[in-house]
Amino acid sequence: MDAGEGFAPAWFNLGAALSGLGNHRSAVDAYRKALHLNPAYAEAWSNLGGALGALGKPDEEIDAYRKALEANPALGPIWSNLGNALSKAGKSLEALAACRKAIELDPGFPPAWVNLGNALQDSNEHMEAIEAYQHACRAAPRLIEARLALGLTYKRAGSFEMARASFR
C-alpha cells in the first residue's frame, strides 16, 4: 500500500478484519501502520487498545486508549473502553472516573453503564452497581452481559428472588 495518510483507513479496516478473525498480533501490526500514517486516528488507537488487551497486555491497552482520547476526547465509547481496561487492571478509582466520563458524553451507550457497574462492584458499591446495570438493561434489554452482571450482583447482595428475575 502507498505510504500516504489516505491509506490509514485501509490499514485500520485490515486490523479490524484480523481482530474479528482472532488474529490480534497481525491486527496490532495493521493498526500501528494506520497510526504511523495518521497519528491522530482515535479509532485506530482504540482498536489497537482492544487488540493489545486481547493479547494480555493491559498497560499497553490502557496507554492506547489514552492516546485515542488525546486525539479525540469526545468519544464516549473510548472512555468506556478505558474504564473497562482500568477496572481489569485493578485501578478502580480511575475506572470509575473514565466510566462516568463515558456516560456524561454518551448516556445512551449501554456498555458504558455495564463498565460503570463493574467498576462500582470493584469498589464494593453494590447498590450503585445494581442501578448502573439496571440502566443498561433498560437501554438494551437483550444485552446479556448487563443481565448477567445484574443477576450476579443481586445474588452477592443476598437478593436471590431479584437475581432469578434478572435472568429471565
| Within a domain: 78 | no
At 133, which CATH number?
A: 1.25.40.10
Cite the DSSP H helix spans in the chain.
8-20, 24-37, 42-54, 58-71, 76-88, 92-105, 110-122, 126-139, 144-156, 160-166
- Assign 4 a pLDDT band (cuts: 50, 70, 90): low
Is there a single domain that holds both residue 2 and residue 36? yes
User: How much is the pLDDT for 16?
Assistant: 97
State how far the Cα of 83 lies from the Cα of 88, in Å rounded to an integer: 9
Same domain, 2 and 45: yes
Q: Is residue 145 part of a domain?
A: yes
**87 domain-assigned:** no
Domain span holding position 44: 1-73
Range of lowest pLDDT (22-36, 78-92, 154-168): 154-168
